[in-house]
Amino acid sequence: MRYLTAGESHGPQLTTIIEGLPAGVPLTEEDINTELARRQKGYGRGRRMQIEKDAVQIMGGIRHGYTLGSPVALVVENKDWTHWTKIMGQAPLDSEASEDVKRKITRARPGHADLNGALKYGHRDMRNVLERSSARETTVRVAAGAAAKKLLSLLGIEIACHVLEIGGVQAEKLPYTSLAELKEKTEASPVRCFDSNAEQKMMDAIDQAKKNGDSIGGIVEVIVEGMPAGVGSYVHYDRKLDSKLAGAMVSINAFKGVEFGIGFEAARKPGSEVHDEIGWDPEKGYYRKSNRLGGFEGGMTTGMPIVVRGVMKPIPTLYKPLQSVDIETKEAFAASIERSDSCAVPAAAVVAESVIAWELAAAIVDQFSADRLDSLQMAIDEQRRYAREF
């Protein structure tokens, strides 16, 4: 499985083409729109979320509600495009029309792709960079993730996300009975947090950052249950599944770190408090007596829940802008301001859930017979049976 995305933040639309979905997967626009709506929620979001009401159009690869095995094309229109047609239009400009193009950006914003992208591609107007490097692109990554989540659910694999920390306010790691309970409570939370005591403190921190013209980041966690053991590989470095999940997590805009299980805490503990002892039960087969390694050993799934966290830095577009340099005049200026969120951690959790779902689904499709959904379901069931009886 693979996908490509295309489109700019203020262009006419965002597009993704997905290849490799098995035939026979039930997938509707409603399935995808549910995930797109989740991405737009969250305390601290900016005015853009009031303008855009994201809805997908399925343009190919699905007939009567089921995938065909051919590429699936998805489109999300940008409602704000009507105000940007002169600025972001595709047609060549004549000399007179070029004078109408406004909002040229020559002042690189610290923390963004602006300057590096301009140096790479030779753009004197850095809008050519920021329009594509914008987190708006994650809209169709969530759309692709929705397709992956649907496939995983049909294979008995469930996934959820929640926020652990915002702006230094840490949620207590409270027990929950099921992923369904975790989902229900966090989806009702403005900051997607399971700990109701930390919820208000997080919102207060977001309000204070906005008042200060600043931004704050945080930590999100994705949990996956039901993955069969042995998915991934120890044979080649580039086929280790935990490596792919780590790469997917830090590919999200503003994400700067990732950990599994107890993560970096393992550096401060002896091996006896890090590794997971193995047990066996006639009903469930092999299992781990703990899950400190977050569901992975040797680059492969253990069958235990996958627990992966990502850290998101504060959004670098600030209303008290940082100092920068104009690439035309070389003079120092306050960096330009685009519409921005003071905190996007709750929304970023949904993006993290989506990219992790994609990598897991892709690994399963790569490893098992997957032209048809029914044959893939049988292959996964057989893998689970084999692991229990091994």
Determine what percent of the chain is predicted with pLDDT higher than 90: 83
Q: Give the chain's mean pLDDT.
A: 93
Binding site listing: 39, 45, 132-134, 253-254, 298, 313-317, 339
Q: Which of 37, 35, 354, 345 is nearest to 222 (CA)?
A: 354
C-beta neighbour count of 370 within 10 angstroms = 23
Q: What is the pLDDT of residues 136-194, one digit of tens each?
A: 999 999 999 999 999 999 999 999 999 999 999 999 999 999 999 999 999 999 999 99
Cβ proximity of 334 and 324 under 8 Å: yes
Residue 100 in this model has a pLDDT that exceeds 80:
no
In the numeric block, which tokens belong to residue 330?
A: 């070389």
From CA 291, how far away is CA 288, in angstroms rounded?
Answer: 7
| pLDDT for the residue 317 | 75
- Is the C-alpha dihedral spanning 166, 169, 170, 171 positive or negative? negative
Q: pLDDT class for 86, splitting at 50, 70, 90?
A: confident
In this structure, the dihedral spanned by the alpha carbons of residues 29, 33, 34 and 38, taken in order and rounded to 10 degrees, is 160
As a whole number of angstroms, the longest Cα–Cα distance in the chain is: 78
- Angle among Cα 191, 195, 199 to the nearest 5 degrees reads 40
| pLDDT for the residue 160 | 98
Q: Which of 72, 81, 91 is nearest to 48 (CA)?
A: 81
| pLDDT for the residue 334 | 78
Say which residue the tokens 């590096």 belong to: 116
Higher pLDDT, 80 or 68: 68
| pLDDT for the residue 120 | 98
Q: What is the pLDDT of residues 260-293, one digit of tens each?
A: 999 999 999 999 999 999 999 999 899 999 999 9
Could you tell me which residues are beta bridge partners of residue 390?
A: none
> Which CATH class for the 2-389 domain?
alpha beta
Binding site listing for FMN: 132-134, 253-254, 298, 313-317, 339
**Got the DSSP string for 315-370?**
PS--SSPPEEEBTTT--EEEPP--S--S--HHHHHHHHHHHHHHHHHHHHHHHS--
Query: Highest mean pLDDT range out of 89-98, 279-288, 298-307, 309-318?
Result: 298-307
In the numeric block, which tokens belong to residue 117?
A: 């992208």
| pLDDT for the residue 337 | 63
φ/ψ (deg, to 5) at 149? -65, -40
| pLDDT for the residue 129 | 97
Task: Report, as an integer, the average pLDDT of 105-132.
Answer: 94
| pLDDT for the residue 103 | 76
Binding site listing for NADP(+): 39, 45
Residue 88 in this model has a pLDDT that exceeds 80:
yes
> Crossing angle of helices 29-40/345-367, nearest 10°?
140
In the numeric block, which tokens belong to residue 2?
A: 């693979």
In the numeric block, which tokens belong to residue 275?
A: 């590794």
Q: Which of 71, 139, 152, 60 is nearest to 359 (CA)?
A: 152
- Is the C-alpha dihedral spanning 253, 258, 261, 264 positive or negative? negative
Task: Report, as an integer, the average pLDDT of 360-381.
Answer: 98
In the numeric block, which tokens belong to residue 323?
A: 């100092």
